[in-house]
Chains A and B, each alone.
Chain A
Amino acid sequence: MQIPYNEEPRPDTGLYNAKLGIWLFLASEVMLFGALFSSYILLRTGNPDWHQEELDVVLATINTLFLITSSVTVVFAWMALRLNDFAKFKLYLWLTMALAGAFLVVKYFEYSAEFEHHLYPSSNNFMATYFTMTGLHGIHILGGMVVFGYLLGPGAKMWKSEPERFTNRIEVAGLYWHFVDLVWIFLFPSLYLL
């Protein structure tokens, strides 16, 4: 049995299955992070004693650059596949992994520094929001790394058997990755700069 439209787009919708699937998934992610942003705004505007901590803007800026770069490498990986250049693809996806890893390492140092200054989720609701949002975002980064790891490892076999479908998978994984980047683009000013 074969599920139709795994590779080629369905003529009337112009989409292959996973492409529609990932966008639906991202729609739900919008609502997930939307709820957190909503809570953040509501708590902050509703509380006259709101206390905004100074966070490490330098580290966060570096992290922003890491994520933006990783977004580029992941599209490059996809382009390499479309040019049939599997070696380049691997290179770019490894680069993406490395940047994601670097992001998490920086995050680790940020968290440790905050703990050292006795800033915990229990300190105040700003810190609680900060840890919850960046934590959830971090889990998404980790999830992305797992997916990339799979696509570089056991999942890469598919390149031999179904190259179209594999290319689609990379595109879809990339869409997810850009979304994670996009969330960060909003997290960064809301938590670090405002």
Chain B
Amino acid sequence: MSDDPVDKSGAGHSHGHDHDHAGGHHEESWIRKYVFSTDHKMIGLQYGITALCFLLFGFCLMLLMRWQLAYPGSVVPLIGGWLGEANAPGGIILPAFYNQLGAMHGTIMVFLAIVPLAVGAFGNYVLPLQIGAPDMAFPKLNMMSYWVYFVGGIVMLVSFFLPGGAANSGWTSYAPLSVIATTGQTAWLFGMVFLITSSLLGSMNMIVTIIQLRAPGMTFMRLPFFVWSQFVTSFLLLLAFPPLEAASVMQLMDRLAGSSFFMPSGLFVSGQALEYAGGGSPLLWQHLFWFLAHPEVYVLILPAMGIVAEIIANNTRKPLWGYKPMVYSTIFLGFMSFIVWAHHMFMTGMGTVISAFFQTTTMIISIPSVVILTALLISLWGGSIRFNTPMLFSLAFLPMFGIGGLTGLPLGLAPADIHLHDTYYVIGHFHYVVAPGTIFAIFAGIYYWFPKFTGRKMSEGLGKLHFWLSFIFINGVFAPMFIQGLAGVSRRLYDGGLSYSHAQPVLHWNVFMSMAAFGLFLAQLPFVFNFFWSMKKGEKVGSNPWGATTIDWACTTSPPLGHGNFEHIPTVYRGPYEYSPPGADDDFLPQHVPGS
């Protein structure tokens, strides 16, 4: 195989001017290289590491909750004493603390872990390589996005130490509860303003990069599917996030300046009438929140689909089946995701017409997902399937996303949602899409691109162990949630439903699910070990260890990979997945290699 990029230096680009680009060709200082780096690869890694830490942190918050759900009101073992007297006197979690954990688990997982991983890390690192760009279009802005994200994360973390603790009104922060909540909510809102700003800068950068910096010959229909998924995702981030930014500002006004945007007249809390002007609308908050948050859930899944598509094409050694329908479906999905949001609000008293509208759009939006999933499934047909670790995670993604997606259908039909809304059924639905869905895709991506990050492969043995244990345990955590949900167990219950009689027949599942969650935690140890061990000791590999066709594998592999990525910008001659071309010796024909 050829590691030499095609020599067509800077075709189509002109570099007329000398300029005093700081540190351009000189040895960069440590700070410029590792901290305030403008290299998209370093920024991608910064995003990745930070977000993995948040993922672990979010998981740990959840483990505390799962302990409480399994054994309500009993002392948290091992770490109970460290949780602080205000939160867990004597190691027993208080309701107030449980609510903080829940709100922060949701917020951290969504905004600080998964989105930064899927978009910040993979998007940043892989995307410019896949389109043959020397960097992102605006490297300094890229650096800024990361640091703004970082500050947002710190604000969220620090909020645990405020009087009254972190935000405790759910990740949805429904008003008026959130408006009258403790100071943690203010920190949450400020944190969100930072996180949203970061996403905006990042997505704008990403779109410009994709449109402007594609290598010669890289037409839109030759883009790897991963790039398409990031492209659509970026538009969702760009246009759906600002309304929540506005809403956060308005909620801040309500909390700090005493306005009443989300406060209706005549509230009477804890035996006292509140002093305020009134006339606001609690449902306005919900509209603005879900206007963001529904597109947001596709932000969580689209990059995952992109990663999975790359890996499936590579490991079936054949082109993706239905690349074009997949691309069109993704665009359509992105577009539709702006007009389904109120399916989260069926129970707020919706009339017939509006609910019919949102039910219809919700059913319509399920079709492109079906098309994408079907295309991926059919892509397997006729392949020569290699079951390496990235492929295992990618394959598992399909039925797991299937379960999550399919359980979205009854929720999308308002009459069926009457019974299921705000029960564990919803929790089960979306965790199937984000945990064994997106997290698995992210694991797959880490195993797959690790050689690009480090020049070494991760251990396959440990990887497979990680996969099988995770697969079993994660289903153990989430499958019983559907049963509990059907039984009518509400979500966000401090005691997991203990005091409700209709919950009694399904209560025993709580222990089972929590045990599976602890098992899931243990199952991550091989991964963490593998991750660090392989950086130093993993098998050394060449630039293109998987025999891949996309041009991220055409540049020499990191660490030598310098700022600028390619010695010469490659020229692209064909579509992204020319695997097993008829009549060729090699079973893959990279995009940048000339010839038939």
**Residues on A close to B: CB < 8 A?**
1-5, 7-8, 10-11, 13, 15-18, 20-21, 24-25, 27-29, 31-36, 38-39, 42-43, 46-47, 49-50, 120-125, 127-129, 131-132, 136, 161-162
Contacts and interface: CB of A to CB of B under 8 A. Distances in A.
Q: Which among B24, B208, B211 has the greatest number of chain A C-beta atoms within 10 A?
A: B208
Contacts of B250: 36, 39, 132
Contact of A27 (B13, B135, B239, B260): B239
B260 A125 contact: yes
A121 B257 contact: yes
B17 A21 contact: no
Interface on chain A toward B: helix, strand, loop, or mixed SS? helix
A110 B16 CA distance: 51
Given A24-B208, A32-B245, A39-B284, A120 B134 contact: no
B205 A21 contact: yes
Contacts of A21: 137-138, 204-205, 208
B157 interface: no
Contacts of B20: 161
A120 B212 CA distance: 47
B134 A35 contact: no
Interface string B228-264: 0000000000111111011101100100011111000
A125 B259 contact: yes
29 contacts: A1-B24, A1-B563, A2-B15, A2-B21, A2-B134, A3-B135, A4-B15, A4-B213, A5-B137, A8-B14, A20-B207, A20-B211, A24-B203, A27-B238, A28-B204, A32-B242, A32-B245, A34-B242, A34-B243, A35-B247, A39-B250, A39-B288, A46-B281, A121-B257, A122-B258, A125-B259, A125-B280, A127-B259, A161-B18
B73 interface: no
A128 B17 CA distance: 51
Nearest to B24: A1
A5 B12 CA distance: 10
B279 A43 contact: yes
B253 A121 contact: yes
Contacts of A34: 242-243
Contact of B242 (A28, A39, A42, A50): A28
A107 to B, nearest CB: 17
B277 interface: yes
B405 interface: no
Contact of B200 (A7, A28, A36, A46): A28
Contacts of B288: 35, 38-39
B526 interface: no
A1 B37 CA distance: 14
B139 interface: yes
B110 to A, nearest CB: 19
Contacts of A5: 13, 137, 212-213
Interface in B195-222: 200, 203-205, 207-208, 211-213
Contact of A122 (B211, B276, B291): B276
B581 interface: no
B555 to A, nearest CB: 13
Contacts of B280: 43, 125
Contacts of A127: 259
Given A27-B238, A28-B200, A121-B253, A42 B281 contact: yes
Shortest beta-carbon contacts, A-B, top 7 = A122-B258, A128-B259, A1-B564, A35-B246, A35-B243, A32-B242, A31-B242
A4 B134 contact: yes
A88 B563 CA distance: 39
A32 B260 CA distance: 19
Nearest to A44: B279
Contact of B213 (A3, A25, A32, A128): A3
B531 to A, nearest CB: 29
B26 interface: no
A17 B137 contact: yes
B277 A124 contact: yes
Contacts of B281: 42-43, 46
Contacts of A18: 138
Contacts of A2: 13, 15, 19, 21, 134
Contacts of A3: 134-135, 137-139, 213
Contacts of A1: 21, 24, 134-135, 563-564
B138 A17 contact: yes
B259 A132 contact: yes
A28 B18 CA distance: 34
Given A35-B243, A122-B260, 13 more contacts: A4-B14, A17-B138, A21-B208, A25-B200, A27-B239, A28-B241, A32-B242, A32-B245, A32-B246, A34-B243, A122-B257, A131-B259, A161-B19
Contact of B279 (A13, A17, A33, A47): A47
B583 to A, nearest CB: 33
A42 B261 CA distance: 10
Nearest to A136: B249
Contacts of B259: 121-122, 125, 127-128, 131-132
A10 B16 CA distance: 15
Nearest to B39: A1
A112 B213 CA distance: 49
Contacts of A33: 246
B261 A31 contact: no
Among B203, B211, B246, B287, max chain A CB count under 10 A is at B246
A3 B18 CA distance: 13
Nearest to A15: B212
A120 B257 contact: yes
B208 A20 contact: yes
A47 B98 CA distance: 36
Contacts of B291: 35
A120 B257 CA distance: 8
A31 B257 contact: no
Interface string B273-302: 000110111001001100100000000000
Contact of A31 (B16, B205, B243): B243
Nearest to B141: A21
Given A2-B15, A125-B259, A128-B253, A39 B241 contact: no
A31 B281 CA distance: 20
B208 A128 contact: no
B211 to A, nearest CB: 6
A134 to B, nearest CB: 12
A131 B253 contact: yes
A192 to B, nearest CB: 19
Interface in B8-60: 10, 12-21, 24
Nearest to B563: A1
Interface string B441-452: 000000000000
Contacts of B200: 25, 28
A123 B275 CA distance: 11
A194 to B, nearest CB: 18
Interface string B555-596: 000000001100000000000000000000000000000000
Given A43-B281, A132-B253, A36 B246 contact: yes
B243 A32 contact: yes
